[in-house]
């Protein structure tokens, strides 16, 4: 990673007085951790900050909102700000309808992210595809400006993003630098790893495990065992009382089957099917695979949509995946 990648970003953003920070739809630990840590940084450096997300913060991460409040944006509020920052997403549509309307305001929009192919609408952006998480980049921002500004809240918020976006430090996006960042956050924030992981992983409601058990039953192998699929239907949601956010992490199970190189999770959502794709092979690019269904993401983790029904979605998606082999 370059040493001073935030130089222009820092000098430009600190010239504004009122800034709004957006995290992406269906928020996860990385976008929320980045948003909170970045908002705290801006505040410490004399800027008036508001944090926005169009969706609800998942229950197991709502402790972040005691560090910095996250509210719902509305189009009429946007005029109040001089500049905007979006984190953990490469295009405005990832942040929802209100964020998409920012492009008509004529005010500068900044971005910090680790997804490939960033949109070209940003005033200044830091986009590093090799970074384990956007939180690792926000740590670099602090480190370049004044690492002593990392307080307990900022450290815990960034650690959350590191843990969740690396599957608890398992993915190959984890580099020695990632571990250095994690260690420094633990030291500066004076907390232990389990303090964060217990909050996010050991707080599963029973309904979620019931849903997982139904979903595991649907795992199937395709393409001589190189691909696996898992399905979550509306019926399962109704039987267990679960919602979409209860499916967080399920996609790792089909990927853990011996011999499987890539997997797809299919989730019925209204009259469409949400796809989550994962690869654990350098030869299978799920970002490319997801693009055949108007989606995107990273080489090893991506998402997209299919118009359904479920059976057709599985057939179409697996058939598109075979082209990767």
HEC profile for 183-216?
HHHHHHHCCCHHHHHHHHHCCCCHHHHHHHHHHH
Q: Which does 136 bind (CB under 5 to 8 A by kind): ligand 5GP, Mn ion, none?
A: none
| Chain length of the chain | 325
Six token digits for residue 1: 């990673």
If the CB atoms of residues 10 and 25 are measured against ligand 5GP, the closer one turns out to be 25
Q: Compute the least distance from the CB of residue 298 to Mn ion, in Å.
A: 9
- The span from the CA of 27 to the CA of 32, in Å, is 7
From ligand 5GP, Mn ion, none, interface partner of 73 (C-beta below 5 to 8 A by class):
none
| 108 in contact with ligand 5GP (CB under 6 A) | no
Contact between 297 and ligand 5GP per CB under 6 A: yes
Residue number with CB closer to Mn ion (112 or 242): 112
Interface residue with ligand 5GP among 188, 298, 300, 306 (CB under 6 A) is: 298
Residue 165 touches which of ligand 5GP, Mn ion, none (CB < 5 to 8 A by kind)? Mn ion
Cβ distance to ligand 5GP smaller for residue 50 or 276: 276
Please report whether residue 301 would count as binding ligand 5GP according to CB under 6 A.
yes
30 or 184: whose CB is closer to ligand 5GP? Answer: 30
For residues 231 and 310, is the Cβ–Cβ distance under 8 A? yes
Distances (CA, A) of 131 to 93, 111, 166, 172, 205: 22, 15, 10, 11, 32
Distances in Å between the Cα of 62 and the Cα atoms of 167, 199, 294 are: 20, 10, 31
Residue 295 interacts with, from Mn ion, ligand 5GP, none (CB under 5-8 Å by kind): ligand 5GP
3: which 2 tokens?
């040493």
Question: Which C-beta is closer to ligand 5GP: that of 100 or that of 190?
Answer: 100
Which range binds ligand 5GP by CB under 6 A, 123-131, 182-190, 235-243, 301-309?
301-309
User: Does 303 sit near ligand 5GP (CB under 6 A)?
Assistant: yes
DSSP string of 224-290, one letter each residue: GGTEEEEEE-HHHHHHHT--GGGGTTTTHHHHTSTT--EEEEEEEETTEEEEEEEE-STT--HHHHH
Q: Assess 304 for contact with ligand 5GP (CB under 6 A).
A: yes
Those residues with Cβ within 8 angstroms of residue 215's Cβ, 6 or more apart along the chain or in another chain? 230, 231, 232, 236, 247, 250, 253
Preceding peptide of 109 cis, ω within 30°: no
* 132 touches ligand 5GP (CB under 6 A): no
Q: Are 305 and 267 in contact (CB under 8 A)?
A: no
Q: Output 88 or 119, the one with its CB closest to Mn ion.
A: 88
CB of 272 to ligand 5GP, least distance (A): 11
* Contact of residue 246 among ligand 5GP, Mn ion, none (CB under 5-8 Å per partner type): none
Measured in whole angstroms, the distance separating CA 217 from the mean position of its chain's CA atoms is: 27
Give yes or no for residue 161 binding ligand 5GP (CB under 6 A).
no
Q: Which position among 23, 164, 228, 276 is part of the footprint of ligand 5GP (CB under 6 A)? A: 276
Residue in 260, 296, 300, 313 binding ligand 5GP, rule: CB under 6 A:
296
**Which stretches of the chain bind ligand 5GP, using CB under 6 A?**
115, 276, 295-298, 301-305
């Amino acid at each position: 990673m370059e040493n001073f990648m935030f130089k222009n970003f820092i000098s430009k953003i600190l010239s504004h007085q009122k800034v709004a920070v957006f995290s992406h739809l269906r928020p996860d630990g990385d976008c929320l951790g980045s948003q909170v840590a970045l908002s705290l940084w801006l505040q410490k450096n004399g800027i008036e900050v508001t944090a926005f997300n169009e969706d609800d913060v998942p229950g197991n991460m709502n402790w972040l909102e005691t560090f910095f409040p996250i509210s719902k944006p509305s189009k009429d509020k946007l005029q109040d700000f001089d500049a905007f920052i979006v984190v953990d997403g490469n295009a405005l549509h990832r942040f929802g309808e209100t964020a998409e309307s920012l492009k008509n305001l004529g005010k500068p929009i900044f971005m910090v992210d680790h997804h490939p192919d960033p949109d070209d609408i940003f005033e200044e952006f830091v986009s590093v595809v090799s970074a384990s998480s956007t939180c690792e980049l926000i740590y670099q921002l602090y480190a370049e400006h004044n690492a002593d500004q990392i307080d307990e809240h900022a450290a815990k918020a960034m650690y959350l993003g590191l843990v969740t976006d690396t599957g608890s430090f398992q993915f190959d996006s984890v580099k020695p630098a990632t571990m250095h960042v994690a260690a420094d956050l633990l030291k500066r924030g004076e907390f232990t790893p389990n303090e964060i992981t217990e909050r996010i992983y050991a707080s599963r409601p029973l309904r979620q495990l019931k849903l997982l058990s139904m979903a595991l039953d649907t795992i199937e192998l395709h393409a001589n065992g190189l691909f696996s699929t898992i399905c979550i239907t509306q019926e399962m949601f109704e039987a267990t009382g679960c919602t979409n956010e209860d499916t967080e992490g399920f996609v790792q199970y089909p990927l853990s089957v011996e011999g499987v190189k890539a997997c797809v999770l299919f989730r019925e959502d209204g009259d469409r099917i949400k796809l989550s794709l994962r690869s654990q092979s350098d030869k299978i690019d799920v970002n490319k695979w997801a693009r055949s269904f108007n989606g995107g993401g990273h080489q090893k983790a991506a998402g997209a949509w299919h118009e359904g029904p479920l059976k057709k979605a599985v057939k179409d998606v697996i058939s598109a995946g075979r082209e990767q082999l």
